[in-house]
Amino acid sequence: MPKVKAISYIPLKDNDGQVLREKIDELEFVLYAHFVGWTKHGIATGAFQMPDGSRSEDTHLVFYVVLDDARLSELREILL
């Protein structure tokens, strides 16, 4: 089966500003258990416009996982 590199942007905080460190640690454990590896590429920041016109900024960790393309739905479920 063909391999793909899936890139995910995982927020460091939720919408209420709570730090997601525990959830990120759990995600790293689960990704390794299911796909036998992951790469944390670094931190990405960005800005976007909210519906009210205000500016919002986000900071994310960038993760790569190499997997068989047939397992993309499995990865999607884990990330949700």
List the beta bridge partners of residue 30. none
Residue 14 has pLDDT above 80, yes or no: yes
Confidence of residue 16 (pLDDT cuts 50, 70, 90): confident
Q: Whole-angstrom Cα distance, residue 20 to residue 24?
A: 6
Q: Which residues contact 3 (CB under 8 A, 6 or more apart)?
A: 66, 67, 68, 69
Average pLDDT over residues 27-43: 96
HSE of 71, CA atoms in CB hemisphere, 13 A: 16
pLDDT at 1 over 80: no
**How far, in Å, CA of 49 to CA of 13, rounded?**
18
Q: Does the pLDDT of residue 56 top 80, yes or no?
A: yes
Q: What is the pTM of this model?
A: 0.83
Better-predicted residue by pLDDT, 31 or 56: 31
